[in-house]
Amino acid sequence: MKYKGSCLCGEITFEIEGEFESFYLCHCERCQKDTGSAHAANLFSSKAKLKWLSGKNKVKTFNFDGHIKSFCPNCGSALPNFQFDGKLLVVPAGSLDSDIYLRPQGHIYFANKANWDKELEKVPQFDQLPKDE
Ligand SMILES: [Zn+2]
Ligand SMILES: [Zn+2]
């Protein structure tokens, strides 16, 4: 399986060859800060290969006490990185442009979730910005 990915501004592009072993939605406080959202959505693989197609030398990696995030310094988008001494490839699901056939396997660190992060599937859904009636 081959996956393509890129940052929002398009300066950094990459390709991943191989399979993901897991897919988790992490609600821990660090992931809330990291993403600015309710949870991170990361795919993990111990075997897949990451190939930067463009912008490799621009990728910045931030490590706060073991919480690692790679990103594009131009647009701030999350990018893949290797963790656990390079043994585990971690790919933010939103960085991929290819479809993902794996379903998330779980919400993790659910006890640490934001106080507004509950029953979100019951919140009204709009295909665009809601219009003022
Ligand atoms: Zn970018
Ligand atoms: Zn987390």
Q: Which domains occur in the chain, in start order?
A: 2-113 (2.170.150.70)
User: What's the pTM value of the predicted model, to 2 decimals?
Assistant: 0.94
- CA dist., res. 90 & res. 10, Å (int): 20
- By CB atoms closer than 10 A (0-12, 13-18, 19+), residue 68 is middle
Please list the pLDDT of the chain residue by residue as tens digits (133 residues).
999 999 999 999 999 999 999 999 999 999 999 999 999 999 999 999 999 999 999 999 999 999 999 999 999 999 999 999 889 999 999 999 999 999 999 999 999 999 999 999 999 999 999 987 6
The three-class DSSP label of residue 10 is coil
* CA–CA distance, 1 with 58 (Å, rounded to integer): 26
Burial of 109-120, coded b for 16+ CB within 10 Å and e otherwise, reads beeebeeeeeee
Q: How far is the CA of 91 from the centre of ligand 2 (A)?
A: 13
13 C-alpha to center of ligand 1: Å?
9
Ion ligand 1 residues within 5 Å by Cβ: 7, 9, 11, 72, 74-75
Residue type, 51: K
Matching residue, tokens 């690692």 = 68
- 131 CA distance to ligand 2 centroid (A)? 34
